[in-house]
Structures are given as structure tokens and as C-alpha cells.
Structure 1
Amino acid sequence: MAQTTTPATALSSEQKDDKEKAKEKPIQSVEVKGSASNYDPRRDDTASKTVLNHEELTKYGDSNVYEVLKRAPGVTVTGNVIRMRGLGAGYTQILVNGDRPPPGFSLDNLDPDQIERIEIMRAATAEFSMQAIAGTINIVLRKMVSKPQRDLRIGIMNSPQSKFETVGGTWAEKRGNASWFLNGSLFANRNLIDSTSADEFTLPSGEVRQLRESRFRGTGSSRGLALFPRLSWKFDSGDELNLQAGGQTFRSRWNSSWQTRNLVGSFPAPEWMEGNDHTPGSQRMLRGEINWIAKRAGGKLDLALSVERGRNDNDSDTLRYTEGRALRLDRDWNTINRTSRYSLRGKFTRSLFDGHALATGMDASVQKSDETRDRREQLADAPVVHFVEYFQPRISRLAGFVQDEWNVTKQWSVYLGTRWEGVQTDSEGTGLVATTSRNHVLSPVAQTLYKFPGASGRQLRLALTRTYKAPTTNELTARRFESATNTRFSPDSGGNPNLRPELATGIDLGYEHFWAPGALFSVNASRRAITDYIRTRLDLDASGRWVYQPVNDGTAQVRSLETELKLPLRLLNPGLNGLDVRASASRNWSRVAAVPGPNNRLDAQTPLSATVGFDYRKGGLSFGSSLAYQKNGWVRISEAQSQRQQARRDLDAYLLWKLDARYQLRLSLANLLRVDNTSDRRYLDTEGLSRQTSFQPGVMRAGLSLEMKL
């Protein structure tokens, strides 16, 4: 990289004379090269990592992180569940700035423009939590200040079912040793949902004994604000002090109604035929962190102390009627949940011996929740029943790690690490026996990277890991959530204080070929062997109500095969300069020992996913398109339960027009194929087959945004 330097102070008369003489001599250019400019974490890090940069995140004008990740290689999104290796529900770890998201933090309301990069890690590393059986996705928020920045973005996304409006901006400056960064956004959206569903019960003889149809209509709106400021000060000694904060707040309102009509037979009492729900709510999160980075003992010490607070208010008003509106259930649940977390993280890194990079550190946190629920219920003309309940869980975590990355030779590097994590969950509440659950896991990990000699760009990766999946707070407590309409498909749920973590021993093997700038081919195979698998079991309790309860139930196995291709077409034909194509595919297998086959996949695993897309740039115009495909099918959850996972074909496109150096216009199109949303669930036992299906039409979404540099 060539650099030109000019004096910052005034010139003396002698210096001016020297300068005039210098004009008569040829000017020599000095080129300064730095290895950092050539650094690529995907290619050079011993621990496997795929990085989506800021340009890739904002390319399609998405309104949230879920829409961004559905196009990422090896990642699928089902609703608001992010999956790697086809697994979600705690198997894929989601981090924000290397830590668990703060209480009350919402990915739904995180604008992609507020993100610096997303790191996708197939294999675990000791530095981060080892609760990553399927992998880790680390969302790094924007905080870097390399030059002054002032920009503003105004956007709108519209469809027959929704309208989303947003205004966001960034202000960054650097003055002397100080720099600051502020990124924020305002948003508002409105939604409309129309869907139909059917419930059917068929006897073993094939006779349809019960059949009913339902229509649902829901309307809602929300509005909110997100701010992420940061202030940094670099001392002459090289030490650095960072003060950063974050806040999200939004309000929402949801109204829905549904009507049911019986076509065959009738359903058990109380047989609700009509319902109305009104659910206003609000949520807010505040976070503050002090970060000190200092050079000590020949290495770097990085300490961070953070405090986080959140509050979630929800008011749920429910009305239920039987035939002719004869019997009425009036339920009003007002819930206030206050959360807090205090965290301390420390990390020390230094070079040790020749070619070794040693790091050691610790994490400690305490998270508390204080939930109060005011319940009022009245059935028909019976007296009003009034409860005030509280629930107070507390989660204490302590972890320590050590890791070493060793460059054995120019071609071969090795990463070794181990992490110990301990978690204690205490909970108490109205009508509950106070419970305490303690779990700890020691997780060694080893990764290695071998680069073939020369400039071939070919390399091999191997990783051996010990990861786990911890039970959630709701799974561990004896608390019970009651469903207004208790059926096999809408049961109550309860916890189990005796749950143990799922443990997984994994192996990953990968081949990568970087044969030209921007060109990549990779293939990765992996296997996970899981013990103490946590299964959610559906049973009838003593009072005849259906209830879900988690239990440790045997073993499971997971296998995956992933491929990825990136190809600038100028490598094939110089006339195609500016046109890049990309593709990826993932094939996943799993088997749960306690559930009979076929299709006894873990966590309704996505068996096959693929993405294909292109980008074209010429002058001030760029456009592209991407197709994300998910093949699914029937999944057997238990001996009696099955559900069909919907296949998806999400086709998106964008066009970016740079009007001049300060303004650019972005057009976004999503769900061009208008894929509908469907579901199908079945429960089969000796009495017959219960089946529930639903349908919601899919629509295309169009967005337009103006981006300005001020």
C-alpha cells in the first residue's frame, strides 16, 4: 500500500529553501507493505471461521438478522430459529460481541446496518462458551472508527401482509487520542396475518369421527428505537479505555380473532368455537460496559465489566366462547418481567516461545429475573378467580479457559485449548418448591490447519471438540404453563430440575482451495455423538390434561456434509468481469435412539439445504439475486408424534444505484416465488389418528431505501 506523508507543522525559511531544491530532483515513491492487508480469517486462522462483512450484510436491504442469515452458507432459518447443521433450539450458539445476548435483547429489531460482521464457526473454540454442538454464530456490532463517518438511511419495505419503515444513521469521529461512534435506528411496522387450519380425528377403521375448520385473522403494529454508542481513548503508553453502551426499546400491539365450525362430530368440552385476543406489550434493554486493554508482562490484558438491565411488560386479554357464545372464558394475564445481569470477563494473550500464541481467561456472570404475573379468570357466570404469582430464577456462571495457537511450520499450525464451565440455576416462585440445579463441563478442543507447499491455495482442516447443550431455565424449574385450549397440539408445559446437559463428542474434517482472489471451493464433513439427549415427552397428567415435560433419554448422532463455491467469472472469461457466482449445499443426517424410525431426526433437523446466487457490478450500478432452498419432510418426534417440516424456496434480489459520491438508492425484493407457509402435525395411537394442518398464503415484499453520506 503506497502512502504519501506531508509535514503537519509550519516550515522554517531553511526548510523552504530545501523544499524548493527538492523540486528539481526526481521524487521517489516509498511503498509500505503490511501483512494485515492480506489477512483472511477464513484462509489463515487455525480455528475454522467464515466471516460475513458489513457489505454482505447490507447488500439485500434486509430488515433483520434472520433474513441475512438464510443466505449464509451452512445456515438455515426456520421462523426465528437459526440453525447450523440443520439444528437450532440451543444446538446452535448465538453470541453478540462474543457473549450471550443481554436480557431483553431482540434480534428481530437489530438492523443489519448496526452490525460490523457475522462470524460463523463450525467448530468450537475455548475462548467462547462450548454450548455449541452444531456451531457458533457471533454477531459483532459496529464499533470501529477508522475515519470520520456521517451517514443516514431511510427505508421502507412493503407487502400485502406488512409494512416496515426505518430511519437509521451513523456518526463517527476521531480527535487525537479520542474516538467515538454512535449508530442508531428508528423503526415502525404493521402486520396482517390471515390463515386457515383444520383439526381431524380418524378411527383405525378409517372413519372420520371429528373434523373442524378454523379461520384466523391477526393485526398488529410495533415501533421502536435502538442506539449503540461507544467512546474510546488511547493513552500514550498504548493502553486503551473503551466505554460502550446499548439500548433497545419498542412497543407492540396485537389483536386477533378466530372462528371454528364443526363439519363432522364434536370435540371434548369445553369446545371453544370462537376467540379473541388482545396483547399489548413493551420491551426495553439497557447495557453498559467498561473495557480496559493494557500491555502488561509482555502481553495484552483485556478486561471488561458489564451491567445489563431489561424489562418486558405484556398484557394478554383472552376471550373464549362455545357454540352460540353460550359459555365464556375471560382471562386477563398481566406479566412484568425485570431482568439483570452482571458480567466480568478477562483475557490475557502473549507470544510464548517461538511460534506460540498463548491466551488464558475467565468469564463470570450472575443473571436474575423477577417475574410477576397478575392473573384474573372468569368462566361463564362463576366468580372471578384472582392470582398474583411471582417467579424468581437466578443463573450463576463461571468459566475459565486456556488456549495455544502454535505455528509448527510455515504450512502447519495447531490450536489446543480447554474450557471449564459451571452453571448453577436457582429458582423459586408462588406454589413452587425452591430448586437448585448445578452442572459443570470440562471441554477440551483441538484444531489443526495444514497448507500445501507453494502457492496452490489448497489446505486441510481437522477439529476434535467436546461441546454441550445446557438445559434452559424453563426446562429446569418445576413451573407449569397452562394452555387455554389444552389438546395434544396445544399442551401445558412443565420443567424437570433433575435434567443434565447433553454432551457431544465431535470431529470435523475440511478441505479448502483458494486458487485465485475471490475464488473458493470447500468441502467439510462432521460427526457429533450426543449423550444424555434431552427429549420433550408428551403425556396425560392425573387430571387428564396434556403436558410437555423434558427428560434425559439416551443418545443421538448427527452427521453433516457441506460444500461451498465462490467463483468470479472473469477467471473463465475476461468479458464477464464484475460477475461473481456463489453456491453452497449442506446434507445433514441424525438419529435419536429413543425414538423409533424412520425420520427420527434430532430437533426436526433440516436434511438438505442449498443456496445459489450471483452479483454483478459495473460502474455505479450493482445488482444480484439469491435462492435459498430447504428440503424437509416428516419428522418423528416420539412413537406417536410426527410433524412435517415445510420445504422452502426463498428467492430474493437487489439493485443498488450509486447516484454520486454521497447518495445511493437500493431496491430490494424478497420471496419472489411467493412461497406459502404450511404445517402438518399428527398424533397416532391405538385410538386413532389426530391431525392438525394450517395454511398461510405467501406474498412478495418490496423495499426501497435511500442511503446518504453527510
Structure 2
Amino acid sequence: MPCPSLPRRALTAFVLAAASAAAQAQTAAPAPAPAASAPVAAGQEVQITGGRVADTDQRRQSTAAKIVIGREEIEKFGDATVGEVLRRLPGVSTPGAPGRGGPPRMRGLGGGYTQLLIDGQRVPPGFSLESLTPEQVERIEVLRAPTAETGARAIAGTINIITREGLRRRLNDLRMSLAVEDGELTPGLFWTHNDSRGPLTYNLSAGLFDNRRHSSSETVDESQDLATGATVLHQQTRQDSQERRQGLNLGGRLQWRLSENGDQLMLMPNLFTSKSTTARRFSLAQSVPPPPALPLYDLGTQNNENSFTNLRLGTQWRQRLTPATRLELDGGLGQWRASGQTERSEFRAGQALALRQAQDDSHSRERSANLALKLSSLLGGDEAQPGSEHNLVGGIEAESVRRVDERVSLQDGADLLTDFGSNLQASSLRLAAWAQDEWSLTPQWALHAGLRWEGITTRGDAGDGRRPRNESSVWTPLVHLLWKPDPKVRDQVRLSLTRSYRAPAVSQLIARPVINNRDPVNTLNKPGNPDSAGNPTLRPELARGIDLAFERYLEGGGLISANLFYREIKDLMRSVTELETVSWSPQSQRYVARPQNIGKASTTGIELEAKYRLDQLVAAAPRIELRHNLSLYRSRVQGIPGPDNRLDSQAPASANLGADYRLRGAPFTLGANVNWTPGYRTQQASDRATWASIKTIWDAFVLWTVNPETGLRLLANNLAPRDYASSTEFVTATTRDSSRTLNPSYANWQLRLELKL
């Protein structure tokens, strides 16, 4: 476990370094233009400098707190996935072992607290941002507080990924890559093309990948008698997996200019499809009690086949009604399908016949449709002069989602879920209306006030013919205030007062269970390996929040910022594991995990960020660009005894330290970054706790610019791999059960050829 004083020492070091950089930057002469560092091709200097200033200006001029990452920043490190780009941003983390992380999370909060958008539309369930390549992204916007326009389903914040826009200049980029991890090769081919034909400007992108990787883990399960302290169960499970995932991603943005007034029509089709197979071998060794005491297996195999296809068409129409009024209509249709087949066989050593066989066959499909109407009017000021205008904006929205699940679970040929039927469904309907006033009151003050109403109707499926219906609505007033003490100085202060919410996923409303195959049915499973099921009566969470931020913008595009936040949550949703009498295990009770509304919680934190050049800190130093951020969090769930009664998956801190440098007189650019998350314990309930180990990820790259059209990049991710451990502890009336899992991680090397055709 990390030293408790480490976050305080890191905070002190961060503040001292940031203060020194700020003082040096304010007293030093203006930084020279980037062209002074090294010669570049004609036109290249203007493009890079302009892109960087534009990103910083967007952040500075936005009244609501926003981080903008543009093409220059995305291309600089040369990440293989969007997830790697997001991981280095302040306050953004990914769960799980290095290289095996899931969707990005803001402020350390678990799944569902961060609103993930692509071109302003919510990411469909099952779609992984790891499948979206950086070449397909124009910019990334991170909003720490919700706005009336982007929506209030963002207790932690919003990450909006804007795909590549059609440009007036022609772009035809090709990237070919070959990665190796623990001896497994992963090839990839990615293409992006921009062009225009008369009034049509378009962008096309394609990605083809074939990922192979090896995974292994070791789990130790123990039970201790509380009365005597004796160990009554000790099991050790080892498993080894070979995974292969193949996929195709096709995207486009077709934009027609309808008039010279900015009227336009845009179509955004996207297709993503993938297929994966996993072959897993596992073994079980039990020393207490002796193996003959239970009909346990010694070894086994499990084969999984999964497929996922997501098809979506987005459209946007913009029409200027008057010189000061604009109408915007956005809509989208989407559908995804997922299927999975699992076959598991368990054997006794020396026996050819299987001791137990289990099959699971699942098919899910979800259809969605959304429509949004937005009307904006310029009441004063000039759009051509950002920071002087007064806009009134309003809109209405409608979104419908329907999900159908089919599942058959067999054990030794017998159907385990006959009481639930094979076809269950759930749906949700969301209606919203909003208005916001964006007003630059004076050169020193700007106000962004909004009011949003959302009504949600969900219909679950209890599996017994009942379709529970839940209706809820929420009014969310939102106020963002920007103050510039001296408009001539690059310092500013932000204040945000917000309400937000977190709605249950449609899949959480379906009550049919998913059986954990590690423990056969008709036996008591371990609480660390429960079955899982939905809750058709689940209610949304509601949160009130405040954000306070200070920002200082440095010469040359650098910045230093500190952001404080607080969120108060009610109707907290959490997975609760309880012992139940269930229909699929008539001979024995089973532990089942279900999402439930358990009460109130609160979270607070500070996020520090600094980005500057070393020569702004030390005169005559190399022009090394430095980026570092540090985030510290605390949270408390009422009704659960402390310590460590924090929100799920919220680490107490996270940090990044990165640098990159273009060598003078040589065609090489170097860069490195270290990402750190300390280990932490979470008290889930009075009888259950979880623990996750420290995670440190070292990344580096070298780029050889052969010529303006050709580059060769070598990337190394997770350079210093270390095992990642996690554990759960569950206290029953008579025993203390624990389960600890150790996952090795591996370095990933990638060689990439980058061509501008």
C-alpha cells in the first residue's frame, strides 16, 4: 500500500513547480515563435501554431469549464487508441490492469457517471472507445460541469469526441502499424481522407485491426472461521487465455454548403463491427479441506465467441433564419447487435469424461432514435469577436431506446432459467427541453445560465410477465460564471453551480440473471463470485454540484489551473450482493448481486494542471514541453461504516507527468509520460470491501520524420510492467471470505509507418 503522505508530498511538489513556472513565465520576455527552434516545411509552421492557439483560445473563451485537445496534441504522442489519449488528461482514468482498461472515467467515479459523446450523441452500450482510432478524431472536449445544451447526465463530467471534419485542403493519410505484446503480433491499417467537391466537403475514415493478446491470472479464495480463526477453505485457481479480436470501423462526414450564410446539411454514417474468440484453460487446486470433500474439478477449458455490430446514421441541418437567428436540427438512428456463445467443460485429472459442462448462448439487440431542435439568437455583440456576444439558445429533445435480450443457459443439457423465458426486453423514453443565456456582461464578467427539464420513462422486465414502469423527471438549473480580474492579464476564475443525474442503463432493468460458472448451480457459491441480475424498479441518481477554478494562461500556449469540485448525490445506485433463494438453484441458496438505490453520498476533490515549456521556467533551457497534472479525491457513502466508505472505483488520487522534445538539427522527436494511480480500499457495505493495487504506466515514443510526407514512429506502452492485484472480502455470520486475483501485465511495442499521400 502507498504511503499515506504521498499525495500530500505530490501536491506540495506540484504547487511549488507550478508557482515557479508561473512566476518565470510572467516575468520572462515573450516566447519566440515555434519556427525559431527548427526549420519546417513551408506552411507547416502556420498550421501547427494556429491549431495550438485555437485550442487554448477555445478553452479560455468558454464560460463553462472546458478542456480542448486538438489535432496537434492528439498527433504529438501518436497514441494507438483514443483511450490512451484520454488517460493522460487531468482527472481522467481507466479501470483495470495496465493495457486492459475499460471506458474512461472522470474524477475517479465508476461507470455511468461520465457522459461519453461522439459528435454530441451518446455512445451506444457495447461500443468501446478503444475501437476509435486517433486518426478519426478532430478534437476532444472535456467538460467538468454539465450545461443545459450538452445534457445533465454528467455527474462527473462529459467527454465529447468530435470526429474529423471535412477541410478545404486535401488530406490523404495512411498509417500501417505492427504491435507486439508478450510475443503476440497485432497488425493494423488506418486511413483518413479529406477533400471537397464544389459545395460538398467530406471526410472518410477506415480502420482495420487484428488484435491478439495473451492474458493470465491467479486467484486465491479463502474462508476463515470467525469463532476459531481456522482456515476452512483454501482454493487456488490459475487460468491462461489466448484472445483474438478482429474489427472494421468505417466512418464519414459529408457536409453540403447550402448558402453563403452558413446554411448546411451534414450526414455522419458510421459502421463498426468486430468478432472475438477466446480460448481459456484453467486449473483448480484445493488444499483445505482435502479435495475429496467436494465434487470439484481439477482442470477445465472455456471457449468464447462474441460478435458486435453497431450501425448509426447521424444528420444535422443548419439554417440561418435571420442575420442573428439560426435553427439547427439534429437526429440519429442507431442499432447494435451483440451475440455471445460460451462453452465450459470441467474435468477431474486422469478422466476423459467431463465432470460438468455449461453452455451459455446470448443475443442482444438495441435500437435507438433521437431528435433535437435548437434555436439560437444573437442578442448583442459580434460573433466575429469572441467574448463580446450575447446569445440566447434553447431546444427540445427526444430519445427512445429499446433493448431485447435472449439468453439460454444450460448445465449438463438442462435449462437453468426456464422461469424467466428466453426473450426479455426493456425500454426508455427521454424527453427534454432547455434554454440557456450566454452573455458577456463586461470585458471582466461572463455569465452562462441555463435551465433544463428532463423526463424519463423506463419499463423493465421482471421475467415473470411483469413489466414495471418507472417515471421520473428532474429540473436542472445550471449557472456558470467567468471572471477576469484584469482583461489585459491572462488570469481568470470560474464558478459553476449545477444539478445533474445518472440514469440506470437499460440492461440494468432486466431481471434475468447471469450465472457465475465458477460455482455450479445447486451449490452455495462464494460471495466474491456471485450471480448477477438486474432490477426493473431502479431509480436515477440526482446530484447537486459546485465547481470553482483558477486558470492562468501563459505565453506560448501554456497554462496552469486548479479546479475544486463538490457533488452531493441521492438515490445512489450500487450493486448489492445478498444470499437469495432462487429458482435456478432449487437445492441451495445463491449469492446474487443486484443494483439497488441505497441512499446518499458525497464527493469532493481538487484537480491541478500545468502545461508549459522548460525554457519558460529556466532561461536558456531546451524547449522541452512539459505537461503534468495531479488530482486528489475524497468521497463518503452514508449508511456504510468507514473508513474507506468511498464511491465505487474512486481512487484517492491520480497523476500524469509528461514531456516531449524535438531535437535541434535532427529529424527526431522524443516523448514520454508516466501515469500513476495509488492503491486503495473501498468499503462496499458493512460486510463487504474491495481493494485495488497501485498502478503505474510508463509510455514513450520516438518519431523519425523522414520527410514532410513520411514518418516512422516507435511506441512503447507500459514500459515497466508490474502485476496488478485486486481483492474482495465478505464477512458472513460465521466466516470471513476473501478472494484475491493477480493479473500480470506486459509491455506493448508498436512500430508505425505514417504516410501523407
TM-score under structure 2 length normalisation: 0.85
Is the aligned partner of 1:231 residue 2:231? no
Matching of residues 166-565 of structure 1 within 5 Å = 166-204=188-226, 205-238=228-261, 239-265=263-289, 271-297=296-322, 298-321=324-347, 328-353=355-380, 355-378=389-412, 389-428=422-461, 431-484=464-517, 485=519, 486-542=525-581, 543-565=588-610
**Range with bigger deviation, 431-440 or 516-525:** 431-440
Q: Which moved more, 1:350-359 or 1:67-76?
A: 350-359
Distance (whole Å) between structure 2 residues aligned to residue 234 and residue 92 of structure 1: 34
**1:470-502 alpha-carbon deviations (Å, 9 max, x no partner):** 122233333322222232111122233332221
Residues 435 and 477 in structure 1, CA contact (< 8 A), matched pair in contact too: no
Query: Does the C-alpha gap of structure 1 residues 623 and 34 become closer, same or farther in structure 2, counting only changes over 3 Å?
Result: closer
* Residues 459, 536 of structure 2: 8 Å contact kept: no
How far does residue 234 in structure 1 lie from its aligned partner after superposition?
Answer: 0.7
Give the residue type in structure 2 aligned to 1:455. K
* Deviation larger for 36-45 or 574-583: 36-45
**Does the CA-based 8 Å contact 2:331-2:370 persist in structure 1?**
yes
Match for residue 116 of structure 1?
138
- Which residue is 2:700 aligned to? 653
Name the residue aligned to 1:681: 728
Q: CA deviation at 1:517?
A: 2.1
Identify the range of structure 1 (103-112 vs 143-152) with the bigger mean alpha-carbon deviation.
103-112
Partner SS, residue 59 of structure 1? helix
| Corresponding residue SS for 1:594 | coil
Task: State the Cα distance separating 1:688 from its structure 2 match.
Answer: 2.5
1:517 counterpart SS class: helix
Alignment pair present for 1:149 and 2:174: no
Aligned residue for 1:21? none
Q: Is the alpha carbon distance of 1:314 and 1:148 closer, same or farther for their aligned partners in structure 2, counting shifts above 3 Å?
A: same
Q: Measured at CA, do residues 83 and 689 of structure 1 come closer, stay the same or move farther in structure 2, by a change above 3 Å?
A: same
Name the stretch that deviates more: 574-583 or 86-95: 574-583
Mark the runs of 5 or more structure 2 residues left unpaired by the alignment: 1-49, 96-100, 382-388, 520-524, 582-587
What CA distance in whole angstroms lies between the structure 2 residues aligned with 1:367 and 1:565? 41
Equivalents in 2 of 1:331, 1:454: separation in Å? 68
* TM-aligned CA distance change 1:71 to 1:161, over 3 Å: farther
- For 2:514 and 2:321, how far apart are their aligned partners in 1? 52
More divergent stretch after superposition (286-295 vs 63-72): 63-72
- Cα gap change, 1:435 to 1:706, in 2 (>3 Å): same
Residue 4 of structure 1 corresponds to none
Distance 1:348 1:203 in 2: 66
CA 194–493 in structure 1, closer or farther in 2 if over 3 Å, else same: closer
- Within 1, Cα distance between the matches of 2:58 and 2:270? 27
Q: Give, in whole Å, the separation in 2 of the partners of 1:691 and 1:429.
A: 31
Structure 2: distance between partners of 1:541 and 1:194: 32
* Structure 1 counterpart SS, 2:707: coil
The percentage of counterpart residues that share the same residue type is 33
Give the Å deviation of 1:624. 0.9
CA contact (8 A) 1:446 1:464 kept: yes
Pick 1 or 2: higher relative contact order, CA cutoff 8 A, min separation 6.
2
Once residues 52 and 136 of structure 2 are traced to their aligned partners in structure 1, the CA distance between those partners, rounded to angstroms, is: 28
Determine the C-alpha separation between the residues in 1 that align with 2:168 and 2:694.
44
| Letter in structure 2 aligned against 1:308 | G
Q: 1:145 corresponds to which letter in structure 2?
A: L
CA shift for structure 1 position 36: 9.4
8 Å Cα contact 1:284/1:310 also seen in 2 = yes
Is the Cα contact below 8 Å between 2:670 and 2:703 reproduced in 1?
yes
> 1:222 Cα shift?
1.5
Q: Which residue of 2 aligns with 1:43?
A: 60
Distance in 2 between the 1:509 and 1:148 partners?
A: 42
Residue 302 of structure 1 aligns with an amino acid whose one-letter code is: E
How far 1:85 moved relative to its partner? 1.5
Query: How far does residue 577 in structure 1 lie from its aligned partner after superposition?
Result: 4.3
Residue by residue over 1:682-709, the C-alpha shift from the partner in whole angstroms, topping out at 9 and shown as x without a partner, is: 1124412211112122221111101101
Give the letter aligned to residue 347 of structure 1. K
Structure 2: which amino acid aligns with 1:220?
E
Does the residue aligned with 1:481 lie in a helix, a strand or coil?
Answer: coil
Matched position secondary structure for 2:648: helix
Contact 2:668–2:704 (8 Å) recurs in 1: yes
Residue matched to 1:9: none
- Code of the aligned partner of 2:286: N
Distance 2:535 2:165 in 1: 41
Partner of 2:682: 635
Out of 579-588 and 314-323, give the one that drifted further.
Answer: 314-323
Q: Which residue of 1 aligns with 2:672?
A: 625
Call closer, same or farther: CA 1:206–1:186 in 2, change over 3 Å. same
Matches of 1:258 and 1:348, distance apart in 2: 59
| Structure 1 residues 36 and 537: CA distance shift in structure 2, 3 A | closer
Instruction: Evaluate the alpha carbon distance shift between residue 418 and residue 271 of structure 1 in structure 2; reply closer, same or farther with a 3 A threshold.
Output: farther
- Mapped to 1, the partners of 2:598 and 2:408 lie a distance apart of 36
Equivalent residue number for residue 385 of structure 2: none
- Does the C-alpha gap of structure 1 residues 384 and 307 become closer, same or farther in structure 2, counting only changes over 3 Å? closer
Deviation at 1:103, TM superposition (A): 5.2
Q: Is the 8 A contact 2:457 2:470 kept in 1?
A: yes
Supply the AA of the counterpart residue of 1:357: N
Residue 38 of structure 1 and its aligned partner are, at CA, apart by 8.8
Contact 1:433 1:478 survives alignment (8 Å): no
How far residue 599 of structure 1 moved from its aligned partner, in angstroms, is: 0.5
Q: Deviations over 1:527-575 (max 9, x none)?
A: 1111122232211112511011222222111010111111212223453
The reply to whether residue 571 of structure 1 matches residue 594 of structure 2 is no
- Label 1:161 to 1:445 Cα distance change in 2 as closer, same or farther (>3 A): farther
Q: Residue type matched to 2:531 in 1?
A: D
Matched with 1:76 is 93
Structure 2 distance, partners of 1:234, 1:613, is: 41
Q: Secondary structure at the match of 2:104?
A: strand
Deviates more, 1:330-339 or 1:44-53: 330-339
Equivalent AA in structure 1 for residue 197 of structure 2:
R
| Structure 1 residues 516 and 385, CA gap change in structure 2 (3 angstroms) | closer
| Offset, 1:214 | 1.4
Letter in 2 for 1:313: S
Q: Is the 2:463–2:511 Cα contact (8 Å) retained in structure 1?
A: no
Q: What is the identity, as a one-letter code, of the residue corresponding to 1:400? A: A
Aligned letter for 1:390?
N
Alignment correspondent of 2:98: none
Contact 1:600 / 1:635 at 8 angstroms: preserved in 2? yes
1:88 aligns with 2:105: no
Larger Rg, first or second structure (1 or 2): 1
Change in CA separation of 1:125 and 1:598 when aligned onto 2, cut-off 3 Å: same
Match of 2:714 in 1: 667
State the AA in 2 paired with 1:287.
Answer: R
Distance (Å, rounded) in 1 between the aligned partners of 2:424 and 2:267: 33
More moved, 585-594 vs 638-647:
638-647
Partner of 1:16: none
Quick check: 1:695 aligned with 2:695? no
- What SS does the corresponding residue of 2:59 show, helix, strand or coil? helix
Map of 1:17 onto structure 2: none
The code of the aligned residue for 1:364 comes to A
Aligned to 1:6: none
